[in-house]
């Protein structure tokens, strides 16, 4: 089945998109989504983003060159070259129990890196060139190396109203209406 999917994607010029993909996503040139990734709906992927061992929600914007859930070399091996490792030619780069999780409506800036196992909450912002080594709560803005939370986008009341609306689970037309209503009601 995977081979047929790869052939279809090559014929439709989606050469590097292999994971479980939702509907109406936009993939710019050079984006790579590996088989063990899961992508929701209505996301935008800028050029050269790479997604592996990760689950991404709906309505996310992924900046150019972002790296999400890539493999990690086992520093306890004698060699850092995976085909040599400890002499057996095996190095476990991806841990299915350390899947990176990105919520809904997350913006990930240019060249940001999210390590395996990190969880990023709904509505969070990851700044350009940030290296996220630990979880980022919903609606937080994280920047730097290693990534640090510098502020939250809204106060708790507004965050709760947005979460309660669940607009990010709706089709695009209905989502726009809910967001417009939230903006009006919350005076944003």
Contact 168, 175 (CB under 8 A): yes
DSSP letter at 34 equals: -
Residue whose tokens read 């150019």: 64
Catalytic site residue 73? yes
Coil vs helix vs strand at 156: helix
Listed residue (130, 98, 93) closest to 111, CA to CA: 130
Q: Is 165 helix (H, G, I), strand (E, B) or coil?
A: helix
Distances in whole angstroms, Cα of residue 138 to Cα of each of 19, 97, 167: 25, 22, 15
- Selecting among 73, 82, 148, 182, the annotated active-site residue is 73
For residue 177, report the phi and psi dihedrals to the nearest 5 degrees: -65, -45
Catalytically annotated residues: 73
């Amino acid at each position: 089945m995977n081979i047929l999917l790869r052939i279809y994607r090559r014929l439709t010029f989606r050469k590097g998109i292999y994971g479980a993909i939702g509907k109406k996503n936009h993939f710019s040139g050079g984006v790579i989504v590996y088989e063990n990734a899961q992508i929701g709906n209505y996301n935008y992927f800028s050029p050269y983003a790479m997604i592996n061992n990760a689950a991404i929600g709906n309505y996310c914007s992924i900046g150019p060159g972002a790296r999400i859930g890539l493999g990690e070399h086992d520093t306890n091996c004698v060699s850092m070259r995976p085909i040599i490792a400890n002499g057996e030619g095996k190095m476990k780069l991806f841990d299915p129990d350390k899947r990176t999780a990105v919520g809904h409506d997350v913006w990930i800036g240019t060249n940001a890196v999210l390590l395996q196992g990190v969880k990023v909450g709904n509505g969070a912002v990851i700044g350009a060139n940030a290296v996220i080594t630990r979880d980022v709560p919903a609606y937080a803005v994280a920047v730097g190396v290693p990534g640090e939370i510098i502020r939250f986008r809204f106060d708790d009341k507004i965050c709760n109203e947005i979460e309660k609306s669940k607009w990010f689970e709706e089709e695009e037309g209905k989502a726009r209406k809910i967001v417009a209503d939230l903006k009006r009601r919350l005076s944003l």
